[in-house]
Amino acid sequence: MKSASTLSSAFLQPAGQALPAALLALRFDRASALANLILPTRRTENWKYSAKHLKLTDDMASTLPMNASAEAAADNLGYTVVMVNGVVRPEASNYPTLEGLSIQRFSDLNEKDATLAADLLSNSISDQPAKSGSVNLSQLNGARFEDGLLIQLQPGTVLDQPLFLIHHTTASHSGSAYPCILVAAGNNSQLTVVEDYVSSGDSCVMVNTTTEFSLGDGANVTSVRLNTEGQTVQHMGTTGVRQQRSSRFESHSVGFGGTLRRHDLHVRLEGEGAECKLNGVVVTQSTQHYDNHTTIEHVAANCNSEETYRNIAADKSHAVFNGRIHIHQDAQKSNANMSNKNLLLTSGAEIDTKPELEIYADDVLCAHGATIGQLDKESIFYLVSRGLNPRDAKVLLTMAFINELVDQIPVEQVRDTAHTGLNQFFDQAFQEV
């Protein structure tokens, strides 16, 4: 039997030191804690299907250029923050100016804000001690971030338009990037954040992200996550969300596959009456891989969660969904709904889905459903008998599978990008012979 391999120490060496003391200390602690980290294998439960796609060679350990040229964000996006290889680039960004809203890069933080950032990171759900047998590679982010963004909304502050965070990774040579985003939304504040992950170049790189949301009482935060990175990018992202009383969090994620895409989304409903809605769409083709792991913890009573994920896998690609709902003992009157539907477009594609429910309260409503199917032949015949091309009929039916979720994305530019990506996907998945 092959002996377990550990994470190379090269992956624990950050490049720069341009951070406030509190964050440098935190980063140092993380690196120490991860020394000798055993890399996941197919026997690692939460990496069962993805471990074989993980290829961390030493040449990927180095930080990608922190001064790479930054393309200015498109005007039609409105408010933007551009990050290149995990480093904030104010000159390419268009920050909103709004009283009660502060957007600061880590290197600019004063001592008080740096302490807040360090607290948010050390309380981050993704960095909680891992269960035995599970490895969370996103913990690497904490040991390696070179920069990051702290977004603070004072109570009652409402940002009128979405804030686009454009994460550009330059894959012109091997290396890795560690974008880190912290959002502290005060009581009754409102914000929509779009995380847009893109890349250029075709070398093997790793993008390892952390995003943390902290929602005060009555806060309303929408998070949109779009991943259109290139094929050679190994993406491992973690989003952690803590919600206080009567807050609402919505997440819309759209992912196109790559050599490895992994997103862990962990929501804790900590205050009574909090609610979250998590939507996800994934499409994969050729030999791509995409793995979504979600966890929703009902900690307090009277919280609602609603989760809908759809995967479509073509060719020999592989999509994975693991959805865990954990209802704590005190979380009476919890209402949790989880649905995962999957569409296999070929016999060579693979989809694995696993709902997990852990319920310790006795007065809860908890429903889950998972299906895997193919395009319905009767439906195709019906459409084709009305004169449609078989290809168009298949596209229409495939689109119908995810339409509802794409339409719900509250940001027009993201819907447009999603449609463009989906059309390219259809062009390749349904080539006319």
By the criterion CB under 8 A, which residues form the site for another protein? 376-379, 381-390, 392, 396-397, 399-401, 403-404
Of 295, 300, 301, 304, residue with least CA distance to 325: 295
CA 409 to chain centre: 15
Cβ closer to another protein: 198 or 383? 383
Cα(90)–Cα(70) distance, integer angstroms: 10
Minimum CB separation of residue 388 from another protein in Å reads 6
Secondary structure (DSSP) of 281-311: EEEE-TT-EEEEEEEEEE-SSS-EEEEEEEE
Minimum CB separation of residue 280 from another protein in Å reads 17
Minimum CB separation of residue 418 from another protein in Å reads 15
Minimum CB separation of residue 404 from another protein in Å reads 6
Minimum CB separation of residue 415 from another protein in Å reads 16
Minimum CB separation of residue 198 from another protein in Å reads 28
Cβ closer to another protein: 38 or 400? 400
Minimum CB separation of residue 389 from another protein in Å reads 6
Cβ closer to another protein: 87 or 395? 395
Of 306, 430, 284, residue with least CA distance to 368: 306
Please give the backbone phi and psi of residue 360, each rounded to the nearest 5 degrees, phi first. Answer: -115, -5
Terminal CA-CA length for the chain: 45
Cβ closer to another protein: 320 or 422? 422
Cα(153)–Cα(290) distance, integer angstroms: 33
Cα(265)–Cα(263) distance, integer angstroms: 6
Cβ closer to another protein: 98 or 372? 372
Cβ closer to another protein: 58 or 404? 404
Bridge partners (DSSP) listed for residue 227: 197, 255
318, 351 Cβ separation under 8 angstroms: yes
Cα(233)–Cα(199) distance, integer angstroms: 8
Q: Give the β-pairing of 175-177 and 205-215.
A: parallel
Cα(105)–Cα(187) distance, integer angstroms: 23
Cβ closer to another protein: 329 or 389? 389
**Residue 301 tokens, joined:** 């009573």
